Amino acid sequence: MNRRILRFLNPVLLPYLLLAILTSCGGGGRTTPGSPSSDYFKKVPAYRGDSSKPIPGKPYSKFARPIPARRGKWSAPPPAQPDRSRTELTARLRSDPNGPQTDRVLFDLARYEFAEKNFAQTVNTLREMRKRYPLSPLYDESEFFLGLALQADGKYKDAWLPLRGSLSREQKPQRRALLQAALGEVYEAREDYFAALNSYGDALAAFPAIEGAPLLLARTLALARMKLATHQTQSAARKFRNSPAGPILRLEFARRAATENRPQTALAAVRRFLSDYPDHADREIAQELENQLRKQLAVKTGKVGVLLPLSGPTAAAGEQIYQGVQLALRHALEKFPTLRLELAVRDTRSNPQSPGLAAEKAGELIENENAVALIGPFWGVATQAAAAIADGKGTPLLTPFSIRMKMTGSSPMVFRNSLTNRLQSQAIAVYAIQQLGLQQFAILYPEDRDGKELARKFTEDVERLGGTVVKTVPFPPDANDFGAQMRALGGLDDSQFRRKKTALGIPKEESYELELPFEAIFVPAYHDKAVLIAPQVPFYNMRGIKLLGGRGWNNQKLIKYGEKYVEGAYFVDGFFADSEEPRVAHFVKEFRRLFGSKPTIFAALGYDSAMMVFSGLAQGANTRESMRAYLSRLSGFEGVMGLTDMGPNGDARRQLFVLTVKRRRIRHLQMVTPHRVLDASTGGPPGDGAPATRISGASR
């Protein structure tokens, strides 16, 4: 062979030249003409499943569509072959390796390699073509095949970008379906299972006859059953209602709702399946499931109403509480297998200033759904509106928040399970005096509603325990400089401190500490103020003073910005997701598994509130009056937020988590049960100083 020709050949092109030499005797036959995508798709039979055998102990497993075994990975079908044979193409490269048509030659050779499932070589050829000819009119088309070849070769990390780029430009449904299917496998490899299911569903919706449709349907079902939460399966079933994935997702959602003991939800899903897919192969399975659900609903079911803001500006908090309620339902059914209960959920559309639809929806739940009890609402104004309806209709209502609503005991149907300022002040006062041995305190508080209330209640609680608050210093809520407050507490900056030593006749080299009338400062503010205040305490030469706080300190930004100055501070909260308490750890693990995130205090409040009601149903409180009696006598309830007793005015009295900062981490020290300590020391529960009138004064 002429060495001058070989010298111009790129190593990537050499295989084609050798192949031309080896096959020159026989030649290569011409293939069917066509564009790169003209003959890309073939009709495949629709996927149909058979009923599986029931699993012992799983009453609804017999209604589960079986998941067929996977038959290898999905890859796009071979493209239409070029007009020229491989031999002609390699000969063209040999004769003119840098000619004006070399981009087309490389592109066509890559199509041959793709058809032969030589995906690694396809990738190399296309990359060479794209590198050498970035302005080629085939550049965009090469990205289409490059993404599919990378996915087929298992190079998922590299495949995502060309697949997404090609999908953003592609208009033809058949080709979009291929890209979506390939992306589904990429997402599945990355363990982004909901995105994977949506990609498979989009592929089947765009072109139901896509190559490998049975495999895509099998993967869709496997993801829905084993990797996704129930609400994600429900969402996908709605989205793909009119696509091949719709029926299997709808039936799977119905089965899961039935398994989670939500028979009415499951029945509604089955009815939609039968209505939307009258000729589907799984119709008999759906009809049998419908009959089973009807039999279950014939048994008397305890129905619990849920009233929360699930839309609008405060929907996030309402959704977190609802997630806690959902997990509580699952755990209650595991703990009490014979329990028959169901949730009826309504959106109050409320906010801190408006009750929204709280009263109307409470009436619906009581009159139309025959709810034995209501959980919610969230905001105080909404709780007031719903409480008036619940009280008038003799239905117990348990709100998981409404922290500013006064609970006076005049409404026997209304209960609250929340974390109030009273609980926080009690907990930090009890821990500081009984565990830390402190007696004298100062308070540095913001002049807002919560700051004033916490300062007042902390003073009352300290005095009930025999301690003394010797100084109370306010600061504006928007303050960033606390020099005046530090001096009011008795602190001195360095120049003042030196003059003080001189006036006392203390030599400069001799140590001296200010004599302060308090041992600790209680700062009932949020972390953003705490990180500004903490450094100023030593700056103003107040040594050995402990810092105390409430739940506003429990934030990772306290560590980030407070640095060493918050080390050794003590504060309390109603929930701490990083606690090693077994009950908390199990709750956090299950919540993460179900919803994919760490639970907040709102989720914990929703969980414990729901478990209180569900435990009452399990113990026979299946009428409204018996549920009211059960909640009013609640004592020693063990939830993820600790031990809870119901107070005489319907307000929950609970344990709190005592937290501290140690080695730049917030750590859980212990639980404290302040109301029991205070009751033992003073002979009864504290009063709020409010007259015995109806529930009033709601803001939260």
The average pLDDT across 654-676 equals: 95
In terms of domains, do 395 and 454 share one? no
Strands 642-646 and 637-639: antiparallel
Per residue in 61-79, pLDDT (tens digit) is 556 656 665 556 898 998 8
Question: Can you give the pLDDT at residue 73?
Answer: 82
Q: Which residue in the block uniquely carries the two structure tokens 């409480």?
A: 387
% of residues, the chain, pLDDT over 70: 86
In terms of domains, do 466 and 553 share one? yes
Q: What order of strands is seen across the sheet that includes strand 397-399?
A: 341-347, 302-308, 373-375, 397-399, 414-416
In terms of domains, do 514 and 470 share one? yes
What is the number of structural domains in the chain?
2
**What's the pLDDT band for 336 if we cut at 50, 70, 90?**
confident
Domain end among 573, 606, 624: 573
Q: Is residue 436 part of a domain?
A: yes
Q: Is residue 391 part of a domain?
A: yes
The average pLDDT across 258-265 equals: 82
Specify the range with the lowest mean pLDDT, choosing from 96-100, 272-276, 344-348, 674-678: 96-100
- CA–chain centroid gap for 527, Å, is 24
Question: Can you give the pLDDT at residue 5?
Answer: 37
Domain end among 573, 608, 625: 573
The average pLDDT across 682-689 equals: 50
Task: Give the whole-angstrom CA distance, residue 572 versus residue 403.
Answer: 16
The average pLDDT across 1-23 equals: 40
Residues in a beta bridge with 441: 469, 520
CA angle in degrees (0–180, nearest 5) for 189-193-197: 105
Which residue has better confidence, 80 or 578?
Answer: 578
Q: Is residue 451 part of a domain?
A: yes
Tokens of 656: 């709190």
Question: Can you give the pLDDT at residue 69?
Answer: 53
Phi, psi for residue 312 in degrees, rounded to 5:
90, -170
**What's the pLDDT band for 301 if we cut at 50, 70, 90?**
low
Question: Can you give the pLDDT at residue 36?
Answer: 39
% of residues, the chain, pLDDT over 90: 69
Tokens of 14: 């050499």
Burial (Cβ within 10 Å: 0-12, 13-18, ≥19) of residue 8? exposed
In terms of domains, do 541 and 594 share one? no
Q: Which residues of 142-157 are buried (b: 16+ CB within 10 A; e: fewer)?
A: bbbbbbbbbbbbebbe
Dihedral through CA 656, CA 661, CA 667, CA 668, nearest 10? -20
User: What three-state secondary structure class fits 183?
Assistant: helix
Task: Give the whole-angstrom CA distance, residue 650 versus residue 632.
Answer: 7
In terms of domains, do 490 and 628 share one? no
Per-residue pLDDT for 93 more than 50?
yes
Domain that holds residue 333: 302-419+583-633
Q: Which of 590, 60, 15 is nearest to 293 (CA)?
A: 60
User: What three-state secondary structure class fits 453?
Assistant: helix
Tokens of 524: 């009932």
Phi, psi for residue 481 in degrees, rounded to 5:
-120, 130
Question: Can you give the pLDDT at residue 68?
Answer: 60
Do residues 180 and 203 touch, judged by C-beta distance below 8 A?
yes
Phi, psi for residue 464 in degrees, rounded to 5:
-65, -30
In terms of domains, do 455 and 594 share one? no
Task: Give the whole-angstrom CA distance, residue 533 versus residue 301.
Answer: 55
What is the pTM (predicted TM-score) of this model? Answer: 0.59
In terms of domains, do 621 and 479 share one? no
Task: Name 50's Cβ contacts closer than 8 Å, sequence gap at least 6.
Answer: 66
Per residue in 504-551, pLDDT (tens digit) is 888 888 888 999 999 999 999 999 999 999 999 999 999 999 999 999
Which residue has better confidence, 567 or 623?
Answer: 567
Per residue in 21-63, pLDDT (tens digit) is 333 333 333 333 333 333 343 322 333 333 333 333 345 555 6
Residues in a beta bridge with 451: none
In terms of domains, do 503 and 608 share one? no
Question: Can you give the pLDDT at residue 508?
Answer: 84
In terms of domains, do 430 and 547 share one? yes
Tokens of 30: 């011409």
Which residue has better confidence, 73 or 398?
Answer: 398
Do residues 511 and 539 touch, judged by C-beta distance below 8 A?
no
Task: Give the whole-angstrom CA distance, residue 151 versus residue 186.
Answer: 7
Phi, psi for residue 113 in degrees, rounded to 5:
-65, -40
Give the CATH number of the domain where residue 352 resides. Answer: 3.40.50.2300
Task: Give the whole-angstrom CA distance, residue 90 versus residue 129.
Answer: 14
Residue type, 418: S
In terms of domains, do 351 and 441 share one? no
Per residue in 279-294, pLDDT (tens digit) is 998 899 899 999 888 8
H-helix segments, 170-282: 173-189, 193-206, 213-226, 230-239, 245-259, 263-276
Q: Which of 261, 230, 335 is nearest to 595 (CA)?
A: 230
Do residues 342 and 379 touch, judged by C-beta distance below 8 A?
no
Question: Can you give the pLDDT at residue 12?
Answer: 44
Domain end among 573, 591, 610: 573
Question: Can you give the pLDDT at residue 692?
Answer: 29
Q: Is residue 246 part of a domain?
A: no
The average pLDDT across 427-440 equals: 96
The average pLDDT across 459-464 equals: 96
Tokens of 67: 């998941």
Question: Can you give the pLDDT at residue 683?
Answer: 58
In terms of domains, do 568 and 627 share one? no
Residue type, 599: P
Which residue has better confidence, 431 or 39?
Answer: 431
Q: Which of 325, 329, 270 is nearest to 302 (CA)?
A: 329
The average pLDDT across 103-111 equals: 92
Question: Can you give the pLDDT at residue 302?
Answer: 80
Q: Which of 421, 436, 430, 422 is nearest to 569 (CA)?
A: 436
Do residues 282 and 65 touch, judged by C-beta distance below 8 A?
yes
User: What three-state secondary structure class fits 313?
Assistant: coil
Q: Is residue 69 part of a domain?
A: no
Q: Is residue 115 part of a domain?
A: no
Per-residue pLDDT for 118 more than 60?
yes
In terms of domains, do 415 and 482 share one? no
Q: Is residue 667 part of a domain?
A: no
Q: Is residue 76 part of a domain?
A: no
What are the distances in angstroms from CA 700 to CA 9, 319, 549, 697?
76, 17, 21, 9
Task: Give the whole-angstrom CA distance, residue 646 versus residue 637.
Answer: 9
